[in-house]
Amino acid sequence: MHASVDTDKATNQMIVHLKHSLNTGTYNIPLTLKTYVPDEWKHVQVKQDNHHQQFQAQKDAKGTYILYHANANKGTIELSQTESH
């Protein structure tokens, strides 16, 4: 409810900004994000801080997406296409 998510799209990368205005000492649990990616992205790498995750893209009626965990107010989240899982 108090979080905001903004996404900047580039040719080979997406940058996600996750922020909230709550006390970060109390509200520091990762949030689950659903981000739609280009249809040709079959495998996606997610980087935030020094944490790296890889996901296989899924599809629904709106398009291709990934579900992942991210921390608010902990820097940008970089999504990029990878060759395989």
**Among candidate residues 66, 74, 65, the one with its CA nearest the CA of residue 27:** 74
Reply yes or no on whether the pLDDT at 84 is more than 80. Answer: no
What is the reported pLDDT for 27?
74
pTM above 0.75, yes or no: yes
Q: How many CB atoms lie within 10 A of CB 48?
A: 20
Per-residue pLDDT tens digits for 13-60: 999 999 988 877 777 789 999 999 999 999 999 999 999 999 999 999
Query: Is residue 84 a contact partner of residue 54, using CB atoms and an 8 Å limit?
Result: no
**Among candidate residues 12, 17, 42, the one with its CA nearest the CA of residue 31:** 17
Domain boundaries, the chain: 3-78
